[in-house]
Chains A and B, each alone.
Chain A
């Protein structure tokens, strides 16, 4: 197994798929269908490939595995250097799971420029897997910023009314952050003489330099996660993005920030991380409490879910910077769990919006009578979002709170209020959407395709909620290693 460059295959398979799509004859009668089928099969095969990686992944080894390494830029000593540990693997599995879902759910909804839509998603997959498996700072940066282009096009071409403003805001915010990170990367590179992440983890960097570097990385990741006060691009982007765009945005792209904190900020700048912990705790608490209150006031269903994402990401940053075992494990679990739950919530919102042609929560009502199957699924996702025991949300937020509790009782106490607030806005959302007066008539329930996808999410949310060790065991050693360092 060590001889096959399986990670490269995983990265470039979607790229090859998109090349094939661009080469199909445009005048073909079944052009659209062919494009979609190739897109779906490429992403599904990639998912199976990632399962193969998962099968051969050695959970008892805390080192990076499936290493591939060769020089790409000679004079800079930049390597094409891939390798994954448990944390990366979890995210890769999440990515390869969500991409086929995105393409399948937009099967009948996207009418215009279908080939570019599919190509954009395949390119995003390529960039994201590359990001999660790269062990060289320059490679990391290239993949980190490369993922901007496809999503910019997705929001801009297939988005809603105000899509241009939203796509600009999304693009410029993240570009600004990542260019600052580039300066940080260059400074780090000239200080240590290498861009190899595994070597950099062993380098000691003086404290003042650490502070500056940490800040440059922090702004980039904080915009991506997003943390309060850098979050303002997210609600706009979510509201305007098509359903699949929202799914990929909430499901994976937000996690890039958290992943960056785990992979780079914590191990490379340990003292600076400690120094900035109070600041980050305060920002996270503001995100959890204040943004939850903001979510409570929303009448736009997508905006509400977007704000709830910001609040949930607050738990991730809390967990990461508590820097103990429970906190770290909880935060990784929270990212995966939120990836599933928010993706499922956005899918639900998408199918509601498609049927009612409105995003205003007050216009919904009495859905349960018309769409009983949907209402059941939606209920479970909502329970996940309020971290109900038995769902993944419970495990992750419990672990995070436990980790934070060890550091400071008060912070943990305040953060726990966030959960209560999430109960209010999510249940109130469910109440307004599914119960109440029956306004709409003649609305069809989920079709078989959607039911299948919805069931996959429901299964994963409950399965991982009941048996969390299945996921935790993958990245346990990797998070342990973060603490030892």
Chain B
């Protein structure tokens, strides 16, 4: 290990130090009244400085810690995305936690540590570092899901997520060990070489297949696509709402970023096999995600199913495995993240007037238009955008995914994608209908802080005006697109 590695690893180091500092601060200065506020600010500062480090200090095209990790522009894109997403989530969670009186230093500690895991996962180029990152992230998430420990649903979701997560990690680890056994290496590039060699000589073909499928299963658990999605709706519903926002975006972005890299580098020569797997998974995710969401009454469950179908969409971009496909997946996930976080920010502004609970049932949103036009229109624009209506941003995500599909002549898949987006438009409209058209029940109490107003405003601006600077943004993605060694 050299000193320069520390500089290159700076985003993660900042976060680790921040989290440890928060933990110590929480132990020693727990009594003072505004300590939580201070911890919140420390979290934000460490997130922002980590963001700064990842862009300006960490450098690109470098390997560190003996090729355990690898920074390039591609990982930079995903790192910047997850860190900025976490900043938004930290912002919106503060009010929620304070309101429910469950604010504790551990929350921010876990969020930061989880983010470290995701960052390591994204930049890993070795089986060891990948598993390390994945587990660090998962363990933090198990605790976060059960963070409201006196709430029975939250505990349930924590346990459920723990069991499923451990199972999937086990499957993943088994797959990794098989791959290691037959390639004698933990480095992605070397694995890739020996796999293509064994493909040519037709040796060990079957056993590598098994290992590969097991690894994919493990990763599919993490991004919750059908048939590995069962945990998602329950866990999303039970977790505290900011954590649900975290679940729907950040770990998925990390896993998607890793998946693209992993498939295109390590199993590059295997593309025929994973193309078929992704094809099937993507189709059933889109269909099940959109059909199952139609009858949901809880908005968190609905967003869980809708995120399943969005992941199916992103898999289309990944499976084409060409430049435009990966680019479209990157664009899509960026737009998806902003829209979903905007929606969660809006949801966190709504409370029941009588008992002060946060509203989760879609029916209870009725008549919001009269109460708060700003929130209702933000909801409408963000949901229309998620449904993929032009000229909002979601349309361009869908457009690029469909472009990559049509370019690779996946006509059947693109027709399925179109049909499922009509179905998903239906349930997004259902929410808009409740907000705009239904008679008010007068139980809504809206509490919009300045910070949430700011976040909603940013997401709205991006949703509406992305068309104007789409070209520049695509330029950024272009430079960060995965440069594989083919």
Partner of B471, one of A72, A148, A152, A168: A72
**Interface pair B429/A183, CB less than 8 Å apart:** no
Using CB atoms, name the residue of chain B closest to A179.
B418
A405 interface residue (CB < 8 Å to B): no
Chain B CB count within 10 A is highest, among A116, A145, A179, A187, for A179
Q: With contacts defined as CB atoms under 8 Å apart, how many contacts are there between chain A and chain B in the complex?
A: 84
Query: By the criterion of a CB under 8 Å from any partner CB, how many residues of chain A are at the interface?
Result: 36
Query: By the criterion of a CB under 8 Å from any partner CB, how many residues of chain B are at the interface?
Result: 33
* A 88-146 contacts with B by CB, 8 A: 113, 116, 138, 141-143, 145-146
* B 383-440 contacts with A by CB, 8 A: 384, 389-391, 395, 399, 402-403, 406-407, 411, 414-415, 418-419, 421-422, 425-426, 429, 433, 436-437
A171 interface residue (CB < 8 Å to B): yes
**Interface pair A175/B415, CB less than 8 Å apart:** no
A152 to B381, CA, bound (A): 13
A75 to B403, CA, bound (A): 12
A182 to B419, CA, bound (A): 12
**Interface pair A186/B436, CB less than 8 Å apart:** no
A143 to B407, CA, bound (A): 24
* A 145-170 contacts with B by CB, 8 A: 145-146, 148-149, 152-153, 156-157, 163-164, 167-168
Question: Chain B: interface secondary structure?
Answer: helix
A291 to B380, CA, bound (A): 36
Partner of A164, one of B380, B406, B407, B437: B437
A287 to B429, CA, bound (A): 31
A74 interface residue (CB < 8 Å to B): yes
Q: Report A-chain residues with C-beta under 8 Å of the C-beta of B322.
A: none
Given contacts A75-B478, A179-B418, A182-B399, contact A141 B390 (CB under 8 A): yes
**Interface pair B395/A142, CB less than 8 Å apart:** yes
**Interface pair B407/A183, CB less than 8 Å apart:** no
A189 to B411, CA, bound (A): 14
A168 to B389, CA, bound (A): 15
**Interface pair B425/A75, CB less than 8 Å apart:** no
Min CB distance B434 to A, Å, is 10
A76 interface residue (CB < 8 Å to B): yes
**Interface pair A190/B407, CB less than 8 Å apart:** yes
A171 to B437, CA, bound (A): 15
Using CB atoms, name the residue of chain B closest to A76.
B403
Partner of A176, one of B390, B422, B470: B422
Q: Report A-chain residues with C-beta under 8 Å of the C-beta of B411.
A: 183, 187
**Interface pair B467/A171, CB less than 8 Å apart:** no
**Interface pair A146/B390, CB less than 8 Å apart:** yes
**Interface pair A146/B391, CB less than 8 Å apart:** yes
Question: Chain A: interface secondary structure?
Answer: helix
**Interface pair B395/A172, CB less than 8 Å apart:** no
Min CB distance A153 to B, Å, is 7
Q: Report B-chain residues with C-beta under 8 Å of the C-beta of A113.
A: 369, 373
Q: Report A-chain residues with C-beta under 8 Å of the C-beta of B395.
A: 142, 145
A300 to B471, CA, bound (A): 50
A69 interface residue (CB < 8 Å to B): no
**Interface pair B403/A186, CB less than 8 Å apart:** yes
A167 to B433, CA, bound (A): 9
Q: Report B-chain residues with C-beta under 8 Å of the C-beta of A189.
A: 403
A182 to B425, CA, bound (A): 16
A143 to B391, CA, bound (A): 8
B151 interface residue (CB < 8 Å to A): no
Can you list, as one digit per residue, whether each of A62-82 has a CB less than 8 Å from chain B (1) or not (0)? Answer: 000000000111111000000
A180 interface residue (CB < 8 Å to B): yes
B203 interface residue (CB < 8 Å to A): no
Chain B CB count within 10 A is highest, among A113, A116, A186, for A186
Using CB atoms, name the residue of chain B closest to A130.
B391
Given contacts A72-B471, A73-B471, A149-B384, contact A142 B433 (CB under 8 A): no
**Interface pair A73/B474, CB less than 8 Å apart:** yes
A251 to B190, CA, bound (A): 66
Partner of B436, one of A75, A153, A168, A182: A153
**Interface pair A156/B433, CB less than 8 Å apart:** yes
Q: Report B-chain residues with C-beta under 8 Å of the C-beta of A186.
A: 402-403, 406, 414
B475 interface residue (CB < 8 Å to A): yes
A55 to B471, CA, bound (A): 36
Using CB atoms, name the residue of chain B closest to A191.
B406
A2 to B425, CA, bound (A): 42
A76 to B323, CA, bound (A): 13
A176 to B424, CA, bound (A): 11
* A 25-46 contacts with B by CB, 8 A: none
Using CB atoms, name the residue of chain B closest to A176.
B422
**Interface pair B406/A171, CB less than 8 Å apart:** no
Min CB distance A285 to B, Å, is 30
CB-CB nearest 6 A-B residue pairs:
A142-B390, A186-B406, A179-B418, A156-B437, A74-B471, A176-B422
New A-B pairs, 17, CB < 8 Å, besides A145-B395, A171-B429, A172-B429 = A72-B471, A73-B470, A74-B471, A113-B369, A116-B373, A138-B399, A145-B389, A149-B389, A152-B429, A172-B422, A172-B425, A176-B422, A182-B418, A183-B414, A186-B406, A186-B414, A187-B411
13 pairs across A/B with beta carbons < 8 Å?
A73-B471, A74-B475, A116-B373, A138-B399, A142-B395, A143-B390, A164-B437, A172-B425, A175-B389, A175-B422, A175-B425, A176-B419, A179-B421
Residues of A within 8 A of B (CB): 71-76, 113, 116, 138, 141-143, 145-146, 148-149, 152-153, 156-157, 163-164, 167-168, 171-172, 175-176, 179-180, 182-183, 186-187, 189-190
